[in-house]
Amino acid sequence: MTENVTENQPQQTTAESFDQPLSVPSVSSDTETGLNNLRAENNRLRTELRLRAARDELTRLLTADRARSPELLFDASTNRLEFDDDGRLKNASDLIAGLKQRFPEQFTVDRPESPTPPPAPPVINAGAGRTGSRLPLTKEALAAMKPVDITRLDWNDVKQVMES
């Protein structure tokens, strides 16, 4: 009897098992996410390289134009940078002209030197007030002085000379 029971059960066909969706995670979505991350990083790195090359070129040109602070001037012009299809800076001369107009004090200007410097003004009281400007007091100098001159001297100095 047991044999009849197994024979009466309906058999599943293999076609029905292929129609049901598989529960395997999709490999393509992980791949797409990884590719998108790599593309974003690639774009970020290209932007950094393009900006670094523009900084190097612009600061070199600003230094050649005798700019006092080329790095600061570059930072002031970062929002005006324009690049060509190859990633090279294409408006460097326009940027420098604009910076010269906006910040003229940042660029040194050659002034013609005068052929001869003007004469120095005469010095009044040259050396007055300097420490050690008096001649050292000696016994010979004291002997040559008049009593009126000796009274004007510092008595500590006279005493020191007399004791030596």
Q: 2-61: per-residue pLDDT in tens?
A: 454 445 555 554 545 455 555 555 557 888 899 999 999 999 999 999 999 999 999 999
pLDDT band at 1 (very low <50, low <70, confident <90, very high): very low
Q: Where are the domains of the chain?
A: 32-106, 136-164
pLDDT recorded at residue 126: 58
Q: Over the stretch 66-113, which tens digit does the pLDDT of each residue have?
A: 999 999 999 999 999 999 988 889 999 999 999 999 999 998 877 666
Q: Over the stretch 51-69, which tens digit does the pLDDT of each residue have?
A: 999 999 999 999 999 999 9
Using alpha carbons only, what angle is made at residue 121 by residues 116 and 127, rounded to the nearest 5 degrees?
125
pLDDT recorded at residue 130: 60
Q: Over the stretch 117-148, which tens digit does the pLDDT of each residue have?
A: 667 776 666 556 565 556 678 888 888 888 88
CB atoms within 10 A of CB 36: 10
pLDDT recorded at residue 100: 92
Write phi, then psi, for 83 (nearest 5 degrees): -120, 150
pLDDT recorded at residue 98: 93
* CB-based contact 162:150 (threshold 8 Å): no
Using alpha carbons only, what angle is made at residue 17 by residues 12 and 23, rounded to the nearest 5 degrees?
145
